[in-house]
Structure 1
């Protein structure tokens, strides 16, 4: 009799398990990402390659800087630009592609393996799940972006100090350039997450990332049509390039140049829209 009574009262004695908090979700997402060793090795290798590209670009220019540069008719006097070479576009492209691919795989990887069912079964609040994923991806790629940007800037300008053409972080445009060079990396990671959420396929997501970041700008070049040029000015890497431009350089912005404010707004808009797409798609589409 006592056994029967005990068995009947046992369910009511069980306290409801507390819902997972946001910190718990962050920890769970961190475990998932950390378990994929190839992911953070690729990110670390991309950061090393990006820094090496910038350092090598400046190292190759040292002998060129030492040579005489007689003035040419119709051209401004030679002036070496440490920002253009020390925070190069090729290195930014490498990190942007790596970060965007990382952001995409954090989403489509769970759908491909079926892990998303387990995740949503443990935490039915889809918005909280994708928000935790967004926060962690943003933090990781922001750290990488800061490492690449700060290391590249200070290393290359230390190399140029002996040629008396190096810059300080306090010089006009330098802090802005370093900041934009770092921020474009998490922005691209969020763009990758949006594509991963919408497409849920590895090949399709990577192709879409390459198309938006590297192919699409080719369609909006030139200066014949203003609205096409302005669209191109507000693409992620183009906005970063405008913010990283040395105000003391002789580079011509051509017709319909992008503004500093507009470029900052463009980066923020790409990030916010990408997060909104990822959250909405994950919440409304079936697993």
Structure 2
């Protein structure tokens, strides 16, 4: 009787493609899988989520909007209320000199805008430094300059939208009040559109300046002091009496806004143009963004 010997079938040396692929590539999130690099769009979205998730953000913007609009509307209402007590010459001068546009965005309202938006811009960065969460941010995204660039983009976009809302609302409300006396201006009047745009863009200029100072100083008290000193106190200390002082004064955002908001610009010893004032806006935005982005490179946190 012959025994049938069975030889085990050897395993094939070829491995199915599906098995090979699963062995070569780990799924996303599995141990050893490479994390996808964050895109700049993702960083912008993350910074936007940070900003809108804070209750203090809405409080700060809301309080600033109410204060600015209230200053402007209060000035317009005073003119409306006491219009009957003005002499005929004063009424004619009010119309001739375009004072209605000065009520659309007053100097006091602009000062509030400068102070508030400078502080809001600074808090966008020093808030993370004061709580220590900036370490977590940089640990998650080592590209620090990209993080700061995303912060600058979010601050610029949000404050620009805020500025146009406040400037537009102030113009509409103040001129509606003055129309009750027949002296309100329209957006098509000479200098009206320039005033609204200049007042709106004062918001991102000051916010980015505060952001840059916050990125450099990284302390709440020091940043707030520096913001007030640079944006408010320094322009007040400079005068048009000397050439060097006038040049330095003209380089300040607040003085640039004054130049753009004046319908009939008075003659001074050292005059300057509206295009020069717009240039000041652009230079401050560019310089602030560059300073904020480069200041975080090769530092401890």
Q: Which residue of 1 aligns with 2:52?
A: 34
TM-score by length of 2: 0.85
Provide the rounded CA distance (Å) in 2 between the counterparts of 1:86 and 1:61: 12
Matches within 5 A, 1:151-170: 151-170=169-188
Task: Indicate if the aligned counterparts of 1:69 and 1:78 stay in contact, CA closer than 8 A.
Answer: no
Shift of 1:43: 1.3
TM-score relative to the length of structure 1: 0.89
Q: How many residues align?
A: 273
The answer to whether the aligner puts 1:245 opposite 2:262 as a matched pair is yes
- For residues 102 and 271 of structure 2, the distance between their equivalents in structure 1, rounded to whole angstroms, comes to 17
Q: How far apart are 1:198 and its partner, in Å?
A: 0.7
Q: 1:64 deviation in Å?
A: 3.2
Could you tell me which residue of structure 1 aligns to residue 286 of structure 2? 272
**For residues 170-189 of structure 1, what are the structure 2 equivalents within 5 Å?**
170-189=188-207
- Residue 228 (str. 1) matches residue 252 (str. 2): no
Other-structure match for 1:209: 227
Deviating above 6 A after TM superposition, structure 1's stretches of 4 or more consecutive aligned residues are none
Match of 1:86 in 2: 104
Shift of 1:12: 5.4
Cα separation, partners in 2 of 1:113 and 1:275, compared to 1, 3 Å: same
CA distance in 2, matches of 1:274, 1:63: 43
2:83 aligned residue (56, 65, 69): 65
Secondary structure of 1:183's counterpart equals: helix
Change (3 A) 1:256 1:121: same
User: How far apart are the structure 2 equivalents of 1:190 and 1:137?
Assistant: 7
How many Å separate the matches in 2 of 1:114 and 1:187? 27
Deviates more, 1:203-212 or 1:230-239: 230-239
Worse-matched range after superposition: 23-32 or 272-281: 23-32
Alignment of 1:106-117 (within 5 A): 106-117=124-135
Where do 5+ consecutive residues of structure 2 fail to align? Answer: 1-18, 28-32
Distance in 1, matches of 2:76 and 2:84, equals: 13
- Answer yes or no: is the 8 Å Cα contact 1:184–1:236 preserved in 2: yes
